[in-house]
């Protein structure tokens, strides 16, 4: 047997697969972990437990379940949520909980100050991205100001994937796609770290090396082999952020093709041959040197369904709550009996990029039931997703093809509403495992015995989601109301502040 291993660390769970040379899944597994919200606007993980702990557990389980000898694993690929900020010491040990991607809005002041001092146009031209809650640079500056003791001890600032790769190989390295999110310290034209815009954030020596995703970062060390069950010397690729691996997993390769990921957040990646310059969208070099991507994402999506189940559906069996709520939502008609839901529970990313935005449910009366509320939640995410599609169109980069992936595909109310609101057809592939499958493919690509286009054979099309024209007029009106609500109440949202100082759980 000749297999590759792919493991992805997500917001709420980690997944892994072993895949043979033809793309057949030999074993798959998942492990849940906690999203830590120590206070409103913050989002964290424990790197040792949630990242490396999951990686080790998945390695051992996949080897046991598949019956493979570890020597039959020819390469390892990893991906993880991002962009994150994790300060580590010289040995790579975490100095605090990891600060997560754009759902963590703690650096709002640093974003505002850096943008004002450097200039929005210079930042966009230099790094390809405006400074938003997605940017890592302001979060490092936040650490410098608010946790100076930890900042002083930090030898390196890593993301989740680079942390895993260091644990496996001993090398501090990240890929270009991930590096571009460490704005404003990445030069998009030179494809290198840069102090051109500011030297206030961190010495460049405290950032990992940069390489391409499918380069071999190194080999599994003896210590990592002992922990994971992998063979000493097994090649490990540089890897990437989960959304990029997910896009690869469903064959998004050519200019105009877009991945729509239904996960803890909605995230989109559109491949192109040219750089798109729009401050509302994120830009990055793609995983391969001759392509660009522009990206967009919501702050909360699947996370909202978890919130709803935890807070408003405690009467349901937790293991069956999502399916039960989706069945309830199906009893509410399109339009949710007049409810509009603003899904801004962690601020919002694309296109408004407002860390102070708040969630809202508008139109409630005594006749509404939980089914209406849940359907309104799903439709609110669909409306927010359509605002992303509109942003791409306004930037001159509408998608030619939309390929959907992620756990949200199981919720047909959600996916159908997305097509009905946007008028866009969505394609879905036969294998919906996601980023870990993409990791296994990228590891295979690094071995040099297949081409990029092979993913189309590994994971062919399975079904499509067509817009229902009967709902077009209703959703057109509801969408217009949705877009008008936020600017009308934006100032009031800002006056509400951050809200409670306590979160869903405490950090350990």
According to DSSP, residue 230 is labeled P
Instruction: Report residue 182 CA to chain centroid gap.
Output: 15
Question: What are 425-453's pLDDT values in tens digits?
Answer: 999 999 989 999 999 999 999 999 999 99
pLDDT band at 497 (very low <50, low <70, confident <90, very high): low
According to DSSP, residue 316 is labeled S
Phi, psi angle pair for 387, to nearest 5°: -65, -35
Neighbours of 121 (CB within 10 A): 10
Q: Are residues 16 and 58 in contact, defined by beta-carbon separation less than 8 angstroms?
A: yes
Token representation of residue 84: 């994150």
CA dist., res. 121 & res. 449, Å (int): 43
pLDDT of residue 79: 98
pLDDT of residue 321: 95
Question: What are 186-243's pLDDT values in tens digits?
Answer: 999 999 999 999 999 999 999 999 999 999 999 999 999 999 999 999 999 999 999 9
pLDDT of residue 494: 81
pLDDT at 499 over 80: no
pLDDT of residue 295: 93
Question: What are 289-311's pLDDT values in tens digits?
Answer: 889 999 999 999 999 999 999 99
Fold for the domain defined by 3-244: Nucleotidyltransferase; domain 5 (3.30.420)
User: How many separate helices (H) and strands (E) can be counted in the chain?
Assistant: 16, 24
pLDDT of residue 496: 83
Q: What is the pTM of this model?
A: 0.86
pLDDT at 505 over 80: no
pLDDT band at 167 (very low <50, low <70, confident <90, very high): very high
Rg (C-alpha) for the chain, rounded Å, is: 22
CA dist., res. 468 & res. 296, Å (int): 25
Token representation of residue 461: 């099309």
Q: Which are the contacts of 3, defined by CB distance < 8 A and separation ≥ 6?
A: 18, 19, 20, 21, 26, 66, 68, 72, 73, 74
pLDDT at 379 over 90: yes
**pLDDT (average), residues 410-439:** 96
pLDDT at 424 over 80: yes
User: Residue 188 forms beta bridges with which residues?
Assistant: none
Token representation of residue 110: 């640093």
CA neighbours within 13 Å on the CB side: how many for 21? 8
Q: Are residues 375 and 410 in contact, defined by beta-carbon separation less than 8 angstroms?
A: no
Q: Are residues 265 and 103 in contact, defined by beta-carbon separation less than 8 angstroms?
A: yes
Closest CA to 35 of 269, 379, 406, 310: 310
Question: What are 320-352's pLDDT values in tens digits?
Answer: 999 999 999 999 999 999 999 999 998 999 999
pLDDT at 251 over 60: yes
pLDDT band at 502 (very low <50, low <70, confident <90, very high): very low
Q: Where are the alpha helices (DSSP H) in 119-185?
A: 120-127, 137-146, 148-153, 160-169, 176-179
Ramachandran area for residue 398 (φ above 0: left; ψ -120 to 50: alpha; else beta): beta
pLDDT of residue 152: 98
Q: Where are the domains of the chain?
A: 3-244, 251-431+466-496
Token representation of residue 350: 């694309």
CATH 3.40.50.970 fits 251-431+466-496, yes or no: no
| Intrachain domains 3-244 and 251-431+466-496 with the same fold | yes
Token representation of residue 502: 């306590």
């Amino acid at each position: 047997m000749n297999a590759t291993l792919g493991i992805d660390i997500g917001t709420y769970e980690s997944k892994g697969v072993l895949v043979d040379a033809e793309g057949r899944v030999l074993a798959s597994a998942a492990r849940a972990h906690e999203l830590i919200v120590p206070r409103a606007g913050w989002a964290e993980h424990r790197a040792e437990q949630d990242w490396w702990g999951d990686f080790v557990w998945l390695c051992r389980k996949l080897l046991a379940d598949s019956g493979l000898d570890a020597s039959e694993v020819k390469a390892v690929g990893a991906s993880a949520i991002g962009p994150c900020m994790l300060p580590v010491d010289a040995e790579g040990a975490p100095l605090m909980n990891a600060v997560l991607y754009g759902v963590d809005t703690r650096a709002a002041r640093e974003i505002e100050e850096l943008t004002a001092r450097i200039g929005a146009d210079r930042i966009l031209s230099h790094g390809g991205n405006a400074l938003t809650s997605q940017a890592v640079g302001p979060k490092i500056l936040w650490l410098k100001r608010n946790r100076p003791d930890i900042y002083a001890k930090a030898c390196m600032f890593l993301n989740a994937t680079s942390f895993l790769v260091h644990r496996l190989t001993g090398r501090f390295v990240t890929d270009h796609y991930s590096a571009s999110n460490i704005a404003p310290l990445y030069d998009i034209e030179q494809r290198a770290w840069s102090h051109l815009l500011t030297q206030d954030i961190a010495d460049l020596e405290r950032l990992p090396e940069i390489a391409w995703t499918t380069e071999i970062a190194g080999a599994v060390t003896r210590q990592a082999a002992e922990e994971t069950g992998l063979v000493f010397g097994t090649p490990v690729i540089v890897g990437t952020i989960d959304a990029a691996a997910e896009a690869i997993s469903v064959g998004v390769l050519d200019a105009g093709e877009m991945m729509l990921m239904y996960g803890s957040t909605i995230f989109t990646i559109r491949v192109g041959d040219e750089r798109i310059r729009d401050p509302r969208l994120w830009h990055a070099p793609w995983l391969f040197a001759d392509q660009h991507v522009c990206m967009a994402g919501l702050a909360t999506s699947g996370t909202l369904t978890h919130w709803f189940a935890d807070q408003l559906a405690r009467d349901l069996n937790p293991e069956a709550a999502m399916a039960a709520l989706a069945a309830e939502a199906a009893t509410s008609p399109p339009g949710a009996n007049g409810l509009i839901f603003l899904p801004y529970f962690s601020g919002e990313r694309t296109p408004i990029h407002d860390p102070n935005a708040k969630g809202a449910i508008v139109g409630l009366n005594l006749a509404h039931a939980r089914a209406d509320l849940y359907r309104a939640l799903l439709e609110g995410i669909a409306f927010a997703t359509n605002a992303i599609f509109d942003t791409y169109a306004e930037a001159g980069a509408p998608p030619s093809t939309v390929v959907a992936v992620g756990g949200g595909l199981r919720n047909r109310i959600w996916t159908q509403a997305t097509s009905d609101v946007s008028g866009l057809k969505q394609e879905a592939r036969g294998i919906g495992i996601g980023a870990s499958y993409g990791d296994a493919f990228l590891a295979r690509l690094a071995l040099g015995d297949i081409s990029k286009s092979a993913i189309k054979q590994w994971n062919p099309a399975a079904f499509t989601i067509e817009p229902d024209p009967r709902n077009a007029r209703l959703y057109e009106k509801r969408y217009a109301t949705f877009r008008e609500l936020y600017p009308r109440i934006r100032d009031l949202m800002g006056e509400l502040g951050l809200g409670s100082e306590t979160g869903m759980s405490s950090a350990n």
